[in-house]
Amino acid sequence: MKIAVACDHAGFPLKTTVLEAVRAAGHEPLDLGTNSTESVDFPDFTEKLGRAIQNGEAERGILVCGSGVGACIAANKMKGVWAAICHDTYSAAQGVLHDDMNVLCLGGRVIGPELAKVLVPAFLNARYQGNDAGGERLARRVGKIKAMEDGIIFDA
């Protein structure tokens, strides 16, 4: 898979580790910046990553900002970009397995390189199970999320 990777200045110190972890997991990283610790706005790099996913240049993405929160909020404003902050391997995999998450958000000021090295493969090795036999419940829920993204309101 081609994996888009982007960060802001606060995430930059972790970016090399993330890129190496993507390669180690057998995938091709697409480095979308930033390339220094000079202050930048995370939404600019989040948008680059989101566009890469929307345009089919990358299947998944990894965003790193200071806490992971800002990049996650910004990413989820983009249609077809489903991002979550995951600082544990269970969530990094489960977000893909059950919820079809396609962007992993990490807090560069929250986690260190050793944790990043295990989070990245947990995310990349997971496959959405909603298309598998018995995955109807997952597919139904993901379908509702997609409908919400399209502005459909449910009567619960």
Active site residues: 65, 98
Angle at 4 between CA 62 and CA 11, to 5 degrees: 45
Contact assessment for residue 134 and residue 97, using Cβ atoms and an 8 Å cutoff? no
Structure tokens at 59: 């299947």
CA–CA distances in Å: residue 23 to residues 26, 116, 156 = 5, 13, 44
